[in-house]
A and B are shown apart, each in its own frame.
Chain A
């Protein structure tokens, strides 16, 4: 199975700053089938990005995804107060589907 390693574990930033989150796969993700989710406490995750770089419906353009093969990045260009949350990556290029351990973006 493909293991996804996210870094850093925690990112301490201020509103208005840029956040760069990394997701590294143990083997190449087929067709860049990589998604990113945001999760706030007590809520279900929300899909942000699919296919490594396509924004899901209703997602603001301050969220962008990039990468291919084994290295993927989620960038939040200017953090808004509502963006402080945990972010997970997920690969769906091969079975079993797997998720990264998450990056917590916290307010400095």
Chain B
């Protein structure tokens, strides 16, 4: 079965960086886009961007341009999300998610059936 296993909780000071990992198993890692979302405490969901694990190509939400970097290591089927210059309002649970359908389909399927368990990032001085 599909599994996305994320790295553990992090506590960071304002201005620092955090790098969250997402190890995929149960499917062909390079066959599906991976997106990153976040959810601040008691709030809704915010889309951060996606990575194409096959090519390494990325697309970031404008709100995170210049602060986020998404990468992958195909040898270990793992995607990474690094967020820089952290602020207190970056405190949130960060999720990696897999698109519903493989890249080989022509339809747009940027909705998400498979989710990581989430990584809590706390930014506090």
Q: What is the interface of chain A, defined by CB distance below 8 A to chain B?
A: 31, 33, 35, 44-47, 50, 56-57, 88, 90, 92-93, 95-102
Contact = CB atoms under 8 A, between A and B. Distances in A.
Contacts of B32: none
Nearest to A100: B44
A11 B110 CA distance: 28
B53 interface: no
Interface of B: 35, 44-47, 59, 61-63, 95, 100, 108-113, 115-118
16 contacts: A31-B108, A33-B110, A44-B117, A44-B118, A45-B112, A47-B111, A50-B100, A50-B109, A90-B45, A90-B111, A92-B108, A93-B108, A96-B63, A97-B35, A98-B47, A101-B44
Contact of A35 (B35, B61, B62, B111): B111
Given A35-B111, A44-B118, A88-B45, 5 more contacts: A56-B113, A90-B111, A92-B110, A96-B63, A99-B44
A31 B111 CA distance: 14
B117 A102 contact: no
B113 to A, nearest CB: 5
